[in-house]
Amino acid sequence: MVRFQEGRISEGMFRSTIRMLIPLDKQSEALEILESVSVQTRCNPNCISSRLYRGVEEVRAIMVEELWTSKEETLRHLQSEEYRRVLLVVEMAEECPEIRFDTIMQSRAVELIASARSQP
């Protein structure tokens, strides 16, 4: 459940993403763990969203994306028992995962498309 309206993200949001290649024979276990963590994470009032994605072109790819109200809340989550379970899945990866932490200072939605398309 996303707790913000499109285009209404306030300054200083923090996004974390992990993209990893999990062997097909371990995907079921990995997804079960990640789904459980994602459900628990979404209950945190400082979590704006927690989502899981699977690759279409690369079937071994799984991505975890979380959006937090602040860097401090992200760091608190990284220290949690829930996040330790995410790290256990990261250890299942066939190669070094892509891990990113981004600060979002501004976010725009469909109004940006409308504005761009109305320009000559």
Burial 36-46 (b: 16+ CB within 10 A, else e): ebbeebbebee
Domain ranges of the chain: 13-118
User: In angstroms, what CA-CA distances link 70 with 10, 15, 41, 77, 109?
Assistant: 10, 9, 15, 11, 20
Between CA 22 and CA 51 the distance in angstroms is: 17
113: number of Cβ within 10 Å: 10
What token pair was written down for 74? Answer: 């992200």
| Region 13-118: CATH code | 3.30.70.100
pTM of this prediction? 0.82
Q: Which two tokens stand for residue 17?
A: 């993403």
In tens digits, the chain (120 residues) has pLDDT values of 333 444 444 458 999 999 999 999 999 999 999 999 999 999 999 999 999 999 999 999 999 999 999 999 999 999 999 999 999 999 999 999 999 999 998 888 888 898 899 987
Q: What is residue 115's predicted lDDT score, i.e. its pLDDT?
A: 87
| pLDDT given at position 11 | 52
Say if residues 90 and 83 touch (Cβ distance below 8 Å). Answer: no
How would you classify the pairing of strands 13-21 and 61-68?
antiparallel
Query: Could you give the C-alpha distances from 111 to 12, 15, 80, 107, in angstroms and in order?
Result: 21, 22, 37, 11
